[in-house]
Structure 1
Amino acid sequence: MVQTLGEYLRAVTEYLRTVPDKPAAEIAIDSGLVRALLVAQALDDIPDAADLPLVKIAEGWDSEVWRLGHAHAVRLPRRALAAPLVRHEQAVLPGVAEQLAPTGVRVPLPVVDGVPAAGYPWPWSVVPWMEGERAMDESRAARGSWAPTLARALDALHVDAPEEYPMNPFRGVPLAGRSEAIAERFDALRAAGTLDAEAATAFEDVWRRGLEAAPWDRPPVWIHGDLHPGNLVSHEGRLVGIIDFGDVTAGDPAYDLAVAWLAFDGAGRSRFIAAAGSHYDAAVWIRAHAWAAAVAAMLLAHSDDNPDYFALGRDAATEVLADAAG
């Protein structure tokens, strides 16, 4: 079985001794630079952008987020690798926002499509601020109240994509194309003791069943590409937003549907699956279960400096294994 919390924490502490630190920013981003970009490019859409309070609130591996007043946020890549992610959002989110509008679920539709200026070399965006909390900070049981809303939002998102959709070699692809990398990840978790032999074997069985399931044989549909509770926003018991569409692409919707195990407990998962569209057949859910195993393993192996995401991987692994006997 999956190890206890104490055993997990000891395993991740040992792992942290061997992993690299967060990549250094390739450009220094400060309030003066952000304000200069806003004054040069945002005043037509946000007339008081020069005077609104500006506070840095987050710095990830790829981007920084600065809150602008009460209603907006500025997202800027800190590495060249992240620049295409912002371009993808700027290109795709207008259509996605329209698709999801009837569901009441918002996306960070850019208010300003920023371009390089003032010595800053990459695209950047001003997006609406979503009032709410990370779904990751809710219990799995609480998330179940809005599981049907998420299912309806994904049903609205998963429509045929145009030929020029952003390509992603890792998300929404056939499982067979990732099988070698996933097998290595399972082996590494077994070797590290993060998963015991029984749990690792169960993960491998879930992945094998996904490989054996009928593949997606229809046109590629839009997928979020990084759907987990850290990219869902809830407020007062409702799902209000889906954020971080940088990995948006098209392909097999099973990749997104892995959220059934990443976000929910058994009861919430049942509500989510029951509310999902009828075009998701049994094979889609088998592949989704397999992708959930793969993502849980990735979180366990690579959440080096983020206990929240390690805990998400641990809990997702528990949910994956709960359904593994099926």
Structure 2
Amino acid sequence: MTGPRAPRALETPMHEGQLTVAAETVRELVDAQFPEWRGLPVRRLAAQGTVNAIFRLGDRLTARFPLQPREVDAARRWLDSEAEAARELLGRTRFPTPEPVAVGAPGAGYPLPWSVQTWLPGVVATDQDPGDSFAFASDLAEFVADVRAIDPRGRTFEGGGRGGELHPHDGWLETCFQRSEALLDVPLLRRMWAVMRELPRGGSPDRMTHGDLIPGNVLVAEGRLAGVLDVGGLRAADPALDLVGAWHLLESGPRQALRQQLDCDDLDWERGRAWAFVQAMGVVWYYHRTNPAMSRMGRVTLARIVADPPAA
């Protein structure tokens, strides 16, 4: 993760009912539940993610606190599934990924379970743009291929979120179009979605995917891929899903190099573009005021999609 920066102010919550987590609360929870870490300093990170408040715990650990309220048992099941996914990915690629360490319990006024993972050094791609790097594109393609090579053990996409068919996202996209009237060229984007939503799945079976290859989840060092974060969403899905990274992270030349390295056919490539479109349309308006970096990422992705249309 990136080095020290001032945290983004929490006075403007990103989500309805968003939880707040102070460093003092983290200190109390750690000291009470993991006394072996009492001597480790606690420092909030200026993460640009949207799901967790993240704190550095000493030099080798991070503590992650979910921001959105949910039922305690459901939150625990989700954290356990995240840890299981992280363990499944660990060592399956040469690029570092976080290792689950522990799960904490509610307390000190914080109502949900929380998790501890290993710390990964590096700078998030939001702060060190690798978009023009062919070497980074090659690394990213290698990571996607490594994840796809994991045996799904009979698992298939279970529905919910991105990774199945495109047209079930019509309702969400309609909301995005309506909320984006003052922010984007909505008539153009509507026309693009009308084509994208019709893209068939083709013959590619579900394969394992990271599912969220956005700049804030990718670590960079000297123009190369240094690590990948937020691996808890590892699951079987449309193999085109991880091609979102080509649009979120790369400019035209490196993007085409990634496509060639992964040997993407036209249909998978266009579905990857469509999944990036779905994600970008959502973040532009949703985080316009509360997380400008995330909103800006969506604008950049949409600009790339518009500037590089499918071949006629």
Tell me how far apart the structure 2 counterparts of residues 94 and 21 of structure 1 sit (CA, whole Å): 29
Partner of 2:257: 271
Cα-to-partner distance string for 1:154-206 (whole Å, 9 max, x where unaligned): 111124424568955012121021123224423543xx232236xx32x3344
Secondary structure of the corresponding residue to residue 173 of structure 1: coil
Cα-to-partner distance string for 1:228-274 (whole Å, 9 max, x where unaligned): 11111111222111111344432102222122111111012012112
Tell me how far apart the structure 2 counterparts of residues 57 and 312 of structure 1 sit (CA, whole Å): 19
C-alpha contact (below 8 Å) 1:150/1:272 kept by paired residues: yes
Structure 2 CA distance for partners of 1:233 and 1:20, relative to 1, 3 Å? closer
Partner of 1:193: 182
Deviation at 1:301, TM superposition (A): 1.7
Deviation at 1:287, TM superposition (A): 0.8
Partner of 1:281: 265
Tell me how far apart the structure 1 counterparts of residues 25 and 245 of structure 2 sit (CA, whole Å): 39
Tell me how far apart the structure 2 counterparts of residues 266 and 106 of structure 1 sit (CA, whole Å): 26
Partner of 1:5: none
Identity %: 26
Tell me how far apart the structure 2 counterparts of residues 260 and 86 of structure 1 sit (CA, whole Å): 28
C-alpha contact (below 8 Å) 1:86/1:124 kept by paired residues: yes
Structure 2 CA distance for partners of 1:308 and 1:79, relative to 1, 3 Å? closer
Is it true that 1:96 corresponds to 2:75 in the alignment? no
Structure 2 CA distance for partners of 1:24 and 1:30, relative to 1, 3 Å? farther
C-alpha contact (below 8 Å) 1:27/1:79 kept by paired residues: no
Q: How does 1:141-156 map to 2 (within 5 A)?
A: 141-156=131-146
Cα-to-partner distance string for 1:21-40 (whole Å, 9 max, x where unaligned): 54445475543554543663
Is it true that 1:314 corresponds to 2:303 in the alignment? no
Structure 2 CA distance for partners of 1:247 and 1:288, relative to 1, 3 Å? same
C-alpha contact (below 8 Å) 1:33/1:118 kept by paired residues: no
Tell me how far apart the structure 2 counterparts of residues 164 and 27 of structure 1 sit (CA, whole Å): 36
Residue among 22, 28, 31 paired with 2:24: 31
Cα-to-partner distance string for 1:114-173 (whole Å, 9 max, x where unaligned): 142656654432222111111012235444430111111111112442456895501212
Tell me how far apart the structure 2 counterparts of residues 164 and 41 of structure 1 sit (CA, whole Å): 35
Matched to 2:200, the amino acid is A
Secondary structure of the corresponding residue to residue 272 of structure 2: helix
Partner of 2:61: 72
C-alpha contact (below 8 Å) 2:131/2:249 kept by paired residues: no
Tell me how far apart the structure 2 counterparts of residues 195 and 228 of structure 1 sit (CA, whole Å): 20
C-alpha contact (below 8 Å) 2:102/2:115 kept by paired residues: yes
Deviation at 1:219, TM superposition (A): 3.9
Tell me how far apart the structure 2 counterparts of residues 137 and 266 of structure 1 sit (CA, whole Å): 20
Q: How does 1:202-281 map to 2 (within 5 A)?
A: 203-276=189-262, 278=263, 280-281=264-265
TM-score by length of 2: 0.81
Structure 2 CA distance for partners of 1:58 and 1:141, relative to 1, 3 Å? closer
Matched to 2:162, the amino acid is R
Cα-to-partner distance string for 1:15-58 (whole Å, 9 max, x where unaligned): xxxx9754445475543554543663474xxxxx2212221224
My pick for the range that moved more, 129-138 or 213-222, is: 213-222
Secondary structure of the corresponding residue to residue 115 of structure 2: strand
Deviation at 1:300, TM superposition (A): 1.7
C-alpha contact (below 8 Å) 2:205/2:239 kept by paired residues: no
Secondary structure of the corresponding residue to residue 131 of structure 1: coil
Tell me how far apart the structure 1 counterparts of residues 67 and 175 of structure 2 sit (CA, whole Å): 30
- Long gaps (5+) in structure 1: 1-18, 44-48
Matched to 2:127, the amino acid is D
Partner of 2:4: none
Secondary structure of the corresponding residue to residue 136 of structure 1: coil
Structure 2 CA distance for partners of 1:282 and 1:65, relative to 1, 3 Å? same
Deviation at 1:113, TM superposition (A): 2.4
Tell me how far apart the structure 1 counterparts of residues 185 and 97 of structure 2 sit (CA, whole Å): 39
Structure 2 CA distance for partners of 1:186 and 1:213, relative to 1, 3 Å? same
TM-score by length of 1: 0.78
Tell me how far apart the structure 2 counterparts of residues 288 and 166 of structure 1 sit (CA, whole Å): 16
Deviation at 1:89, TM superposition (A): 1.7
Residue among 133, 142, 154 paired with 2:123: 133
Matched to 1:131, the amino acid is P
Task: Write 1 or 2 for the structure with the bigger share of helix.
Answer: 1
- How many residue pairs match? The answer is 292
Residue among 257, 282, 287 paired with 1:298: 282
Secondary structure of the corresponding residue to residue 65 of structure 1: strand
Structure 2 CA distance for partners of 1:289 and 1:273, relative to 1, 3 Å? same
Partner of 1:50: 38
Tell me how far apart the structure 2 counterparts of residues 31 and 154 of structure 1 sit (CA, whole Å): 39
Matched to 1:260, the amino acid is A
